[in-house]
Structure 1
Amino acid sequence: MSNCTTKSPLRKPVVLMPMGAQERAGHDYQVMTKKYMRPLVEHACCTPVLVPSCFGSDDIEQYLSMADGIYLTGAGSNIDPALYGQDNLTPEKTQDQDRDRFDLPLIHAALGLGLPLFVICRGMQELNVALGGDLHQKLYAIPDMLEHREDYGASVEQQYADVHKVKIVPGTWFAGLMQATEISVNSLHGQGIKTLGCGLEALAHAEDGLIEALHLPHYKQFSLGVQWHPEWQAAHNPYSIRMFSAFGDACRQRLAGSLQRQNKF
């Protein structure tokens, strides 16, 4: 159930959601899965604006001129490893270089403007790469690491079931938001953070030590990246609701500040 009737700004905050490439029956599509949009609408109480990433980055400033927040989602594609100085060790996996070329400059521009930023799975990895970090391309080939990938032979409900715990860094704002020291999460990724990018700081770790949540503590705006998928059936998960609500509140605060500045002129 949406709690958005309790929110009453002059308008809802606008949140940009870059889309990704998908090929279907010989046609190129730009897509965004409904499961990512639903909690943004129902729990963050924001208006999603879907942005094509296939036409280059020339119009980023124009897109940002209408934005109160940025939300980068997961996807089936991997980031081009050349962007973090590695050879491609997973040639069997699809890439989406158009999204790479759009999202990385979008991240830098959004941070410079002070826009709230919420990034999930691939989006969290993009944030890390944009800030100079790198990735493990094959977590499943590293000794003593958990199996973080989904079972492709299982049902969707089984794939998105909670499969491991993450320990939240004590004393952080994220621990306060979650009201917990440890939570159970789903896991659907073969890659993960290896070296943190400049300015990033871990907020949670998996049982094998992998970074599962992060933020930018030296930036004033809201920033949160998580490696799991809080969007999945978010209405039934209090931790997901808290994350999306906090992001929505940050976007409303950004909108209110923008409207206040406009009213001065």
Structure 2
Amino acid sequence: MSVPLVAIPCDIREIEGNVWQATPNQYVRAAVKGADVMVFLVPAQENGHDFDGILDRVDGLLVSGSRTNVHPSLYGAQATEADGPFDPARDATTLPLIRRAIERGIPLLAICRGIQELNVALGGTLANDIQDTPGIWDHRKPDVPELDEAYGIRQNVIVKEGSCLAAAVGPGEIQVNSLHRQAISRTAPRLAVEALAEDGTIEAVSVIDSKAFAVGVQWHPEYWVGTDGTSNKLFKAFGDAVRDYAARKQHTSEKAGAA
């Protein structure tokens, strides 16, 4: 069997006047090295996608973090300037891809903006600038020049026993690098809360009754793949699910060819 292929939707970026389709290399690197898969970058478009055509060609979906936020209109809220920046092309790409991947039983790992997209795609809402809420910590990325320090593992998260995430990384307390100013507010009906920060912020979810691995985390396991045990375990679990899906897909194809 060939190396499985995982789709990563892109962001729209403007660089020196040119519009780029882009994704941070840390996600590509983590998929290749941590999950042992190859990567297919999906362009962000506001219309024109054939979502089933994309998913026919891949064995998993990895939804990355981003500097942009899901547009509040997509979860029934009024948008303000403070809620941005926005990327409508990414929203129009990721939300349908997430829903269709879940329907088809294609393994899914959603990170940072990805967990927020997963929640919105399935009917949940988001809270902005959570650090202004009494009792909630400041989860934002530290304003330091060194990325290793900015993405440092410094926050405790409690993983629910018996959860999908616990099967991958173990139950109880783990340490993560959670960097965000938005978070899940109302959890989508199809999502189960898998992990909480000590201040009660939702840090991980899974899709209830999913046909395959379908997990979202608010932190950044992709950054420390190769050196952090929890990050490695999560990407390995995703990679194992992708390989299992690819093997089943190939077996079905071979049976159909022999018929």
TM-score (norm 1): 0.93
Match of 1:229 in 2: 220
Does 1:20 pair with 2:11?
yes
Preserved contact between residue 201 and residue 217 of structure 1 (Cα < 8 Å): yes
State which of 41, 52, 66 in structure 2 corresponds to 1:50: 41
Preserved contact between residue 70 and residue 118 of structure 1 (Cα < 8 Å): yes
SS of alignment partner, residue 221 of structure 2: coil
Preserved contact between residue 200 and residue 217 of structure 1 (Cα < 8 Å): yes
1:58-97 aligned within 5 A: 58-91=49-82, 93-97=84-88
Could you tell me how far apart the structure 2 residues matched to 1:30 and 1:65 are? 22
1:63-212 aligned within 5 A: 63-91=54-82, 93-212=84-203
Report the CA distance between 1:174 and its aligned residue.
Answer: 2.1
State which of 212, 217, 234 in structure 1 corresponds to 2:208: 217
State which of 244, 247, 250 in structure 2 corresponds to 1:256: 247
CA displacement, residues 160-182 of structure 1 (integer Å, 9 cap, x when unaligned) = 01221001112223223213411
Report the CA distance between 1:152 and its aligned residue.
Answer: 2.4
TM-score (norm 2): 0.95
The residue identity in structure 2 corresponding to 1:202 is: V
Structure 2: gaps spanning 5 or more residues:
none
Q: CA RMSD in A?
A: 1.3
SS of alignment partner, residue 182 of structure 1: strand
Could you tell me how far apart the structure 1 residues matched to 2:246 and 2:202 are? 31
> Which range moves more in the overlay, 188-197 or 169-178?
169-178
The residue identity in structure 1 corresponding to 2:104 is: L
Could you tell me how far apart the structure 1 residues matched to 2:101 and 2:162 are? 27
Could you tell me how far apart the structure 1 residues matched to 2:214 and 2:83 are? 32
Could you tell me how far apart the structure 2 residues matched to 1:57 and 1:196 are? 30
* Residues 139/92 of structure 1: CA separation in 2 closer, same or farther (3 Å cut): closer
Q: Displaced runs of 4+ in structure 1, greater than 4 A?
A: none
1:233-244 aligned within 5 A: 233-244=224-235
* Residues 67/226 of structure 1: CA separation in 2 closer, same or farther (3 Å cut): same
Could you tell me how far apart the structure 2 residues matched to 1:113 and 1:132 are? 18
Preserved contact between residue 168 and residue 204 of structure 1 (Cα < 8 Å): yes
Report the CA distance between 1:91 and its aligned residue.
Answer: 3.5
Preserved contact between residue 90 and residue 137 of structure 1 (Cα < 8 Å): no
Preserved contact between residue 89 and residue 137 of structure 1 (Cα < 8 Å): no
Preserved contact between residue 148 and residue 190 of structure 1 (Cα < 8 Å): yes
Indicate the percent of aligned positions where both proteins have the same amino acid: 36
